[in-house]
Structure 1
Amino acid sequence: MSWRSFPKIELHLHHEGAAPPAFIRGLAQEKSVNLAGVFAEDGSYAFRDFAHFLQVYEAATSVLKTPDDYARLTLAVLEQSAEQGVIYCESFLSPDFCGGRDLGAWREYLAAIREAAARAEAQMGITLRGIVTCIRHFGPDKARETALCAAETAGDWIVGFGMGGDETRGKQGDFAWAFDCAREAGLKLTTHAGEFGGPASVAQALDDLRVDRIGHGVRAIEDPALVDRLAATGTVLEVCPLSNIALGLYPQMRAHPVERLRAAGVRVTINTDDPPFFHTSMTREFDALERAFDWDEGVFDQLVHNALDAAFCDDATRGKLAKRLAGDADSA
């Protein structure tokens, strides 16, 4: 079947990483910024490997310089997601990119993003919530500053704190202060682990950061005891299959461990990560998974409800989303 209209919930989406290439090119032209090397001949983002991907990502992000730029980006990203049937998403937002971790500047960026998100919800029926995210390769000291920005703006819209970036730099525990700060502010926690860091990084995230969810986490499959632990604790994995394939973790979807993890009782969700970078969308993810594993509508419905249960939003928002998933048009 076509999965485009199937209602979806996405929990792992990088705000800047979801920027359509045409949007970034247009903004670069407006600002006379040279983005040589960022785009391939066909206009898509161009990168060789994960390290180069991070460089291209940050180069593309460099044209986003004002709160208005982020408001425009938010509308572009949410329009893209809504077209794929997404009714709710949680996006990773970095004060590093939004005002250089200055709290006053971060508040201005956040206000612009929230205003755009409210307009998108009214016009497109998609709800957005934010997860403040520190950048691992920027180091623990800057992560503390990011966590303070998160703590000061925690509430019904900023609902979580997480960490992205180069998973090979340092250890999860190096960032414990930032995660403790966010937890004390009432934020839910997630971190990238089990992608390039291997299964040990997943155990470190659970033990040292005490996170509620794991971003990626797929290499837990290499440690059967860890898989059993994830299943027993109900820890949710934010799995991004086509991202993993694009970055070379697995050669093709049939080799991806998402089905083995699911069969072992691990609560998995499906996400796009940085969709234009990896030539994906939520519909493409669903299509590829159906072809590879012969999943039916019942499996995808369970995955979406996994995401609903694991979402960091408040109960009122979760209740409205549950009604929409049940087909209640009045709740849209």
Structure 2
Amino acid sequence: MLNVDSIPKAEIHLHLEGAAPPDLVAALAAKKGVDLKGLVQNGRYVWRGFSEFLAAYDAAAAVFTTPEDYEALTRSILEGLAAQNTLYAEFFVSPDHAEATGVSWAEYLGAVVRAIEATEKTHGITARLIPLCVRGYGPENAKRVAELVAKTAHPYVTGFGMAGDERMHHPRDFAPAFDLAREAGLKLTAHAGEFGGPESVAVAVEHLKLARVGHGVRASEDPALVRRLAEEGITLEVCPISNVVLEVYPNLAAHPFKKLRDAGVKVTISTDDPPFFGTTLTRDYREAAETFGLSAEDLRGITRTALEAAFCDEPTRARLIKRLDEAPLAS
């Protein structure tokens, strides 16, 4: 059997609050007297259906109300990833969410950065941050968030993106926000092609000038779009198990990961909101290998694709790729 544990990995589609370990959420809730109403049972999140997932996500995220909470959260996630032989991780972070909990963007960022720096020293894992605007909050708020992030000018804040309901607003409405981020030197991604069809990917790429697409798997339904993604070298941040759990596809065998990869599209493997979906990065790598017939070298190649697409500076990228190349070959 393929030893996936020993394969160096990279995670480039991961929501910070969505990766909150259930035990940490339960402990903070107990400390603060918050009733989670059965959200965490036997160390796992309990929910059914997409609406309950969104409610569960919000309930878990709501227990993080201080900079110290965010520092503990980030440290816990990175330590878990490092234990899976993960070289690099990118977190989606939300200034809007930080503000809603009463933590300023500066405090939120400072806490997360402290954890990133500490964990790199102790565990050797590197991480960077991609602030998101929320599509449902509208174009004007997206522009406000982009302006806030552009003013930050922090070396660990390397990208800008958008999440939320793909059916709300048109991507062209968010072009001013993405233009601001681009002019500030940030690299761009946006969620599309998960619940929206291939057209959601096409218009996001066209109007927002993306380097990567979050999910993007529904692009597989349009051969011309698949060719365009391959020709333009646009990377898809694919989250296979997330797509199955949220019923984008009935099972992994029906997932278009292999179809996209065989067509020359740059695809990676990530987890999205792993504890909510009962997965880990190692599990996603392993099940992708078993389902799509991937070898150890294929998986290392997928990690390389993620590092090549990472929103980090070139010296950091070169250092990470060197670590990948020097890692022992998995059996």
| Both proteins in one fold, TM over 0.5 | yes
Q: Any idea what the Cα deviations from partners look like across 1:125-155, whole Å, max 9, x if unmatched?
A: 1111000111122222222222122111234
Corresponding residue for 1:135?
134
Corresponding residue for 1:75?
75
- The higher relative CO (CA closer than 8 Å, separation ≥ 6) is in 2
CA distance in 1, matches of 2:302, 2:22: 29
Letter aligned with residue 125 of structure 1: G
Corresponding residue for 2:93?
93
Corresponding residue for 2:211?
212
Equivalent residue runs for 1:110-259 within 5 Å: 110-259=109-258
TM-score w.r.t. length of structure 1: 0.94
**More moved, 142-151 vs 283-292:** 142-151
CA distance in 2, matches of 1:168, 1:49: 19
CA distance in 2, matches of 1:67, 1:274: 21
Count of aligned residue pairs for this structure pair? 327
Q: Is the 8 A contact 1:135 1:164 kept in 2?
A: yes
Off by >3 Å, runs of 4+ in structure 1: none
Corresponding residue for 1:18?
19
Task: Classify 1:14/1:75 alpha carbon distance in 2 versus 1 (closer, same or farther; 3 Å).
Answer: same
Corresponding residue for 1:286?
285
CA distance in 1, matches of 2:37, 2:144: 32
Gaps spanning 5+ residues in structure 2: where?
none
CA distance in 1, matches of 2:327, 2:226: 36
TM-score w.r.t. length of structure 2: 0.95
Q: Is the 8 A contact 1:151 1:182 kept in 2?
A: yes
Letter aligned with residue 53 of structure 1: F
Q: Is the 8 A contact 1:95 1:101 kept in 2?
A: no
CA displacement at 1:101 relative to structure 2: 10
Letter aligned with residue 89 of structure 1: A
CA distance in 2, matches of 1:159, 1:202: 22
Q: Is the 8 A contact 1:154 1:186 kept in 2?
A: no
Corresponding residue for 1:109?
108
Gaps spanning 5+ residues in structure 1: where?
none
CA displacement at 1:38 relative to structure 2: 2.8
CA distance in 2, matches of 1:135, 1:35: 25
CA displacement at 1:37 relative to structure 2: 4.9
CA distance in 1, matches of 2:190, 2:217: 13
CA distance in 2, matches of 1:38, 1:153: 35
Identity of paired residues, percent? 50
CA distance in 1, matches of 2:301, 2:75: 29
SS in 1 for 2:277: coil
Q: Any idea what the Cα deviations from partners look like across 1:230-261, whole Å, max 9, x if unmatched?
A: 01101000000000000001111111000000
Corresponding residue for 2:36?
35
CA displacement at 1:267 relative to structure 2: 0.5
Letter aligned with residue 186 of structure 2: L
Q: Is the 8 A contact 1:101 1:145 kept in 2?
A: no
**More moved, 302-311 vs 47-56:** 47-56
What RMSD, in angstroms, separates the aligned Cα atoms of the two structures?
1.7
SS in 2 for 1:208: helix
